Structure 1
Amino acid sequence: MNLPSAFEEKMKYLLGTEYDDYLNCFDEPRHYGLRINTAKISVEDFLKISPWPLEKVPWIHNGFYYDGENCQPAKHPYYYAGLYYLQEPSAMTPADRLPIEPGDRVLDVCAAPGGKATELGARLNGTGVLAANDLSTSRAKGLLKNIELMGIGNVLVLSEEPGKLIPYFTEYFDKILIDAPCSGEGMFRKDRKMIRAWEEHGPDYFSKIQRSIITQAAQMLRPGGMILYSTCTFSPEENEQTIEYLLKQRPDFDICEMEGYEGFSQGLPEMTDSGDERLRHTVRIFPHRMKGEGHFLALLRKKETGSLEEEMVAAPSTYPGAGSCRKSGAQTGARTGAGRKKLPEELTSFLADINRQFDPDRMDIRGDKVYYMPEGMPALNGIRFLRTGLFLGELKKKRFEPSQAFAMNLKKEEYARIIDLPVSDERVIKYLKGETLDVEDLVSAKEKGWYLVCVDGYPLGFGKLAGQVLKNKYLPGWRWQSV
């Protein structure tokens, strides 16, 4: 393994006598992880139907190892039903260690491709709001797909530089996750291309970005709220020193202890100027100590009173660049406009078949598209977003056509007309490929209309019955691709 000499010297200093053990782990196979989506299925129920043997990730309640050499969980109908997310085991840790409560307003600042955001959304279980942001619009599109695949509807998917979000969300969020862009040292074993990237942009480059993001995020957190900061690198400049920087800039923040695990390593205050002993409460994951790649985590809490935002408003000249942080305020009043109008008959007729209560004031109709918004949203004029709320579907010539996102958000028992196929039925794959289905054995030709197609009781998408043939409405961009 040809590692950069500067990196080797740093790791020798960090690890001491453990350095050889670290080097030896490069000869071991990588670990493949699967995280069960508890928004759709319990851990216990998934283990009963799992097509493969799974081994528990001991520090993640819904995380499991699988044999990546002999199993292909991304090519299974349960993947298309959103029952699990494929994720490196150490990368499961940040979202797991951020304590989410029902009704929380949660921000994932650098969310693509969605591994952490989808876990945060699952733990909200349809309450509160999940704002998932990524600066790259192309990456944000992949993020949106994964969020919809996992059935998460109480969502905003944004694509902005984090600083631009501050005027809209000042002190708005209860919890914030920052999985910061980093030099990727912890991924060298998993992806050798990361070494070349490290040589082009090392810790000094990324530490500046991280310090900007974490101080911007601090302004969007309510007093008493919590931030989980994480990287997949070992560099103290990007880890302990970034947290040290925040604590110096923001005395209203403190470091919290998080749920431990025997393989976790303490943070290293001796790698900072201040030597602040609170930094020992941060966590490092080394791949020679645990069955996962390298990671760093810090859990931070904002004090309940005397927040710096209050001081900024009182004396903005004291804090350069902060004078506009309350320009728009939180703007959390009820939405106005389409939600207060009488809903179209074709929409109310379709929703009558859904065993779920919908608040008309949260409906947002833009052109022919219908969205169901989370409660208490600020006005979002002027920022770039890919999705606000749950996309329910489209109004088309006096009829309503439900969306793929709506299908994934539903549970089998919430819809009146169901076609539930066992995973062994060849029609499951045909449906996922976009083919029409012969369903004469399942429904009467007289019972025409929209049907929710499920596999073993878990929704895949909609179809529309015409005679004994089900017209396929599975989203073309999601279709099963033959190898």
Structure 2
Amino acid sequence: MITLPPSYVEQMRRQLGAESAAFLASYDAPRTQGLRLNPLKTGLLEKGLDRLELKSRFGLEPVPWCDTGFYYDEASRPGKHPFHAAGLYYIQEPSAMSAVELLAPEPGDIVLDLAGAPGGKSTHIAGKLRGAGLLVSNEIHPARARILSENIERFGIRNAIVTSASPPQLEERFPRFFDKIMVDAPCSGEGMFRKDPEAMDEWSPDHVTMCAARQSDILDSALAMLKTGGRLAYSTCTFNEKENEKVIAGLLQRYPSLRIERTERIWPHLQRGEGHFVCVLRLEEDPGTGRPALSAAAAKRPEGRPKRGAVRPEEEAIRLYEAFAADTLSPEERALPPGEPVLYGEQLYWLPHAAGCPLDRGWLQGLKVLRPGLHLGEVKKGRLEPAHALALSLPDASYATRVFDLPDESDAAERYLRGEALHTDEAAGGWTLVAVAGFPIGWGKLSGGQLKNHYPKGLRKP
């Protein structure tokens, strides 16, 4: 039984009145577990549930507010399955799925996830964009930003940039830039008490007040980056009104041109979830708070120019991508998405472009950028080796010219994920895509009847 802070219990009794007993009792109920399917993988939503037997494997039941979301049986442990490593789904608390559903990004939108770690809402946004448009996913804390970047990679997202900057830094760079903005604000975490009892140790009325002030500052920066007519979703995983309704009330007072489109609360004693608050707002006219755009001089200084004698990214990016593309693909399928190559040190990326978006590598100058688009490969001794992200970005294994496909619940799949070499009768040599049940999971290199393992060391199972 969870022992809640007395001042928190008093707060919720004042707020909920007669409902408070049922609400407080929900903390002693079992946690809800959820996953969200990846729409970027071919046929996963249409046929994948049946073909891969995901419902029976993981005991899936639909989440009513998210058409790609499902509750799962905790005993099934889908996070340990090879399908998770292949990016077929993201493990996410079901209530949290409501925020992006209400923001409703569409293909072609330019979207900011301002506090993106660990990546649940960013991967959800990317699934809604379906590869068209641009996602800037940001996290101010470097360690959490690295986790965010890893999850962007695992989900196979091609049109995302991952940054680690403060809201004011981004505000200065991107005034009136985004069609839609997700602000999943750092909060007092009252909805996390059941999952993380340590969150209770940090909770206090003063902590709630501090969080509300910080959330207001973050929203001020976010609004400076929102286009006129754009939409912003503000969400928290906490229950008190001070961090939710009162933060929104203060925002509306400061910005009369904002309009509330919808406010939703998920309560753990009423719905099957840990709880969430979401408010969607529209900016009806420019309140004149945006700062000047990046100076023309700064914008002309491109980042990542290759050194003399290094590979030419303009040529090598396309060559590398097409080298692994299956001959059966159409010219459109064989091509990289709109963008430009950029070489960061020895790492080659494909910086995504979006219609009506002036973003190029000059705009990234001076920002801490962890992932400037799709990671294509690494320069080694004058040649390019394919990046793990390139493998996971393929919608399915049919996109590659050479594939080493493994059964998903096989010893070979587990051995590959541990970094072991695999034996093969394949006579050919060279790079090959490794897949499980037809979905890419990484690279290997065939040589002398053996598949040498190139699964990233940092991701390998113990």
Distance 2:86 2:20 in 1: 43
The 8 Å contact of residues 32 and 65 in structure 1, kept in 2 or not, is answered as: yes
Deviates more, 1:469-478 or 1:190-199: 190-199
1:254 maps onto 2:259 in alignment: yes
1:428 maps onto 2:413 in alignment: yes
Task: Count residues with an aligned counterpart.
Answer: 438
Considering only aligned residues, what root-mean-square deviation do their CA atoms show, in Å? Answer: 2.5
Which residue matches 2:29? 28
Deviates more, 1:450-459 or 1:382-391: 382-391
Distance 1:407 1:152 in 2: 11
Compute the displacement of 1:422 (Å). 1.6
* Residues 43 and 346 (structure 1), Cα distance of their counterparts in 2 relative to 1, 3 Å cut: closer
Helix, strand or coil for the counterpart of 2:76?
coil
Which residue matches 1:276? none
Structure-to-structure mapping, 1:395-434, within 5 angstroms: 395-410=379-394, 411-434=396-419
Which residue matches 1:377? 359
Pick from 308, 317, 336 the counterpart of residue 358 of structure 1. 336
Give the TM-score normalised by the residue count of structure 1.
0.85
* Residues 131 and 343 (structure 1), Cα distance of their counterparts in 2 relative to 1, 3 Å cut: closer
Structure-to-structure mapping, 1:305-344, within 5 angstroms: 306-309=285-288, 312=289, 324-326=291-293, 328=295, 343-344=314-315
Residues 287-326 of structure 1, C-alpha deviations (whole Å, 9 max, x = no match): 10011112111001111xx4023xx4xxxxxxxxx6x444
Compute the displacement of 1:392 (Å). 0.2
Q: Which amino acid aligns with 1:458?
A: F
Helix, strand or coil for the counterpart of 2:352?
coil
* Residues 181 and 349 (structure 1), Cα distance of their counterparts in 2 relative to 1, 3 Å cut: closer
Pick from 88, 92, 98 the counterpart of residue 83 of structure 1. 88
Q: Which amino acid aligns with 1:450?
A: W
Distance 2:317 2:155 in 1: 27
Q: Any unmatched runs of 5+ in structure 1?
A: 258-281, 313-321
* Residues 358 and 28 (structure 1), Cα distance of their counterparts in 2 relative to 1, 3 Å cut: closer
Which residue matches 2:433? 452
Residues 160-199 of structure 1, C-alpha deviations (whole Å, 9 max, x = no match): 1111111211111111000001111122233222211113
The 8 Å contact of residues 347 and 400 in structure 1, kept in 2 or not, is answered as: no
Which residue matches 1:292? 273
Distance 1:361 1:7 in 2: 50
Residues 191-227 of structure 1, C-alpha deviations (whole Å, 9 max, x = no match): 2222111138521010110000011000101111110
* Residues 348 and 295 (structure 1), Cα distance of their counterparts in 2 relative to 1, 3 Å cut: same
Helix, strand or coil for the counterpart of 1:140?
helix
Compute the displacement of 1:372 (Å). 0.5
Structure-to-structure mapping, 1:172-251, within 5 angstroms: 172-199=177-204, 202-251=207-256
Compute the displacement of 1:122 (Å). 1.6
Distance 1:333 1:61 in 2: 43
Pick from 350, 370, 390 the counterpart of residue 386 of structure 1. 370
Compute the displacement of 1:399 (Å). 2.5
Distance 2:216 2:456 in 1: 40
Which residue matches 1:315? none
Distance 1:360 1:97 in 2: 28
Distance 2:17 2:283 in 1: 35
Compute the displacement of 1:21 (Å). 1.1
Q: Percent identity?
A: 41
Helix, strand or coil for the counterpart of 1:308?
coil
* Residues 174 and 346 (structure 1), Cα distance of their counterparts in 2 relative to 1, 3 Å cut: closer
Distance 2:410 2:61 in 1: 28
Helix, strand or coil for the counterpart of 2:9?
helix
Compute the displacement of 1:398 (Å). 3.8
* Residues 11 and 95 (structure 1), Cα distance of their counterparts in 2 relative to 1, 3 Å cut: same
Helix, strand or coil for the counterpart of 2:241?
coil
The 8 Å contact of residues 313 and 343 in structure 2, kept in 1 or not, is answered as: no
Q: Which amino acid aligns with 2:413?
A: V
Distance 1:171 1:479 in 2: 42
Q: Any unmatched runs of 5+ in structure 2?
A: none
Distance 1:427 1:197 in 2: 44
Distance 2:283 2:413 in 1: 49
Which residue matches 2:162? 157
Q: Which amino acid aligns with 2:68?
A: N
Which residue matches 2:60? 54
Which residue matches 1:477? 458
Which residue matches 2:45? 43
Which residue matches 1:465? 446
* Residues 342 and 137 (structure 1), Cα distance of their counterparts in 2 relative to 1, 3 Å cut: closer
* Residues 11 and 127 (structure 1), Cα distance of their counterparts in 2 relative to 1, 3 Å cut: same
Distance 2:399 2:26 in 1: 48
Which residue matches 1:4? 5
Compute the displacement of 1:351 (Å). 2.3
The 8 Å contact of residues 183 and 201 in structure 1, kept in 2 or not, is answered as: no
Q: Which amino acid aligns with 1:389?
A: G
The 8 Å contact of residues 350 and 400 in structure 1, kept in 2 or not, is answered as: no
Pick from 132, 136, 158 the counterpart of residue 131 of structure 1. 136
Distance 2:130 2:198 in 1: 37
Compute the displacement of 1:239 (Å). 0.6
Give the TM-score normalised by the residue count of structure 2.
0.89
Structure-to-structure mapping, 1:92-131, within 5 angstroms: 92-131=97-136
Which residue matches 1:260? none
Compute the displacement of 1:9 (Å). 2.2
